[in-house]
Every structure is written in C-alpha cells, then in structure tokens.
C-alpha cells in the first residue's frame, strides 16, 4: 500500500510518464529518497506534520528538480526543471512559493553551502543521494540504509553516468553545467 507521500509524488509525475519512460521508477525513487533524506536531516519522520516532505515547497522542488533532464532531453536541465516547477505552482495557485522553489532547484548542486535553511536542507538531501551516501552530513549510516531499502537506487547512478557521458561527448568543456560554486 502506497503512503500519502508516494501517492503525491506519483500523481505529480504522471503527466511526464512518457518523457520518463522506463526511468520513471528510477526517478520516482530518487525523488522519494531526497524527500526522506530531508526529513531525516531535519530530525522528522515522513508523515509528521512538520516534516519537510509534507511541505509544498519541498515536495514541488523534489518532484521537478531533475525532471528537465528527461522532458528537455538535456543534462543542462536546471532551467527546464525550473520552468516545469514554475508552471506547476502557477497552475495550482501557489505563486507565493515560486521564488523559494526556484532557488531550491537552481542551487541543489552547489558545491558550497546554499543560502537559506530550506535551500541548504534540500541541497544536502540531494547530495546524499547523488553520492550514494558517501556524504551524509551527519546522518547515521543505518538511517541512510533504511531509506535506500525502502526506495532502492536501482538504475539511478547508471542513468546519471549515461547522461554525463552523453553531455561530455557533446560539450567536453562543460560536462556538468548544473554544478555551481
């Protein structure tokens, strides 16, 4: 039985099922891991009313943060992802969240600390997942493994490697355009 969070993520990703194709479960689990890591870093559990995963800005940023890689078919996906999030928030009368969600998406691959507590929390959660837990920002290994057991990363890193290889062949001087200082 799907949780409320899993249902919310699945519903939001539904319009892009065709673009995600066979990668839909790969991306869905990445989104769910990022949200779970946000909760863990904030010291909350999923479903807790104060957990980041229950907040619209985190849910929206997580669903859309990398989606542009599939919808725009590019590894330079920040702008397309931001556009998708902005459109979704506008269509759902949540324009008030656009500045924060845009910053969360735009800065989620910053090398240095991001400005703003929500932005930094989201950046750290995504970093935990992208680095396969090598960088956990104090999160216990058992907590990391529990999230991974629930939402396996099967296929995620190989897909990232394919995206990176394609980008590097096409743009050898700019292989990772989403990374910022």
CATH of the domain at 131: 1.10.3210
Q: Does the residue 20 lie in any domain?
A: no
The pLDDT tens digits along the chain (181 residues) read 889 999 999 999 999 999 999 999 999 999 999 999 999 999 876 666 689 999 999 999 999 999 999 999 987 899 999 999 999 999 999 999 999 999 999 999 998 889 999 999 999 999 999 999 999 999 999 999 999 999 999 888 787 778 778 868 887 877 776 777 7
Residue 45's pLDDT is 60
- CA nearest neighbour of 37 among 108, 116, 94, 99: 108
CB-neighbour burial class of residue 61 (10 A; exposed 0-12, middle 13-18, buried 19+): buried
Quote the pTM value: 0.92
Q: Write the CA distances from 88 to 61, 92, 102, 121, 131, integer angstroms.
A: 11, 6, 12, 22, 29
Among candidates 5, 23, 33, 51, which has minimal Cα distance to 128? 33
Is residue 7, in this structure, part of any structural domain at all? no
User: Domain for residue 43, yes or no?
Assistant: yes
Give the end-to-end CA distance of the chain in Å, rounded to a whole number: 41
Any domain includes 121: yes
* pLDDT for 111: 86
Smallest CA-to-CA distance from 155 within 59, 66, 24 is with 24
Determine, yes or no, domain membership for 42. Answer: yes
Is residue 89 included in any domain, yes or no? yes
pLDDT, tens digit, 9 for 90 and up, residues 34-51: 999 999 999 876 666 689
The domain total for the chain is 1
Q: What pLDDT does residue 170 have? A: 83
Structure letter (DSSP) for residue 181: -
Flag whether 10 is in a domain.
no
Structural domain including 106 reads 25-170
What is the model's pLDDT at position 29?
98
Q: Is residue 152 part of a domain?
A: yes
Q: What is the pLDDT of residue 81?
A: 98
| Tokens 């995963």 belong to residue | 53
pLDDT at 160: 75
């Amino acid at each position: 039985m799907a949780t409320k969070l899993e249902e919310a993520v699945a519903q939001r990703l539904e319009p892009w099922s065709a673009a995600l194709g066979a990668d839909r479960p790969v991306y869905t689990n990445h989104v769910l891991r990022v949200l779970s890591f946000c909760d863990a870093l904030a010291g909350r559990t999923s479903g807790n009313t104060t957990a980041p995963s229950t907040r619209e800005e985190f849910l929206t940023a997580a669903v859309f943060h990398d989606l542009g890689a599939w919808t725009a078919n590019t590894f330079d996906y920040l702008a397309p992802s931001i556009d998708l999030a902005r459109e979704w928030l506008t269509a759902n009368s949540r324009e008030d969240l656009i500045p924060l969600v845009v910053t969360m998406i735009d800065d989620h691959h910053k090398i240095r600390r991001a400005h703003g507590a929500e932005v930094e929390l989201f950046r750290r959660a995504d970093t935990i997942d992208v680095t396969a837990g090598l960088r956990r920002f104090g999160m216990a290994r058992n907590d990391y493994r529990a999230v991974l057991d629930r939402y396996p990363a099967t296929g995620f890193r190989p897909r990232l490697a394919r995206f990176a290889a394609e980008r590097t062949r096409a743009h050898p001087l700019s292989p990772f355009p989403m990374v910022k200082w």
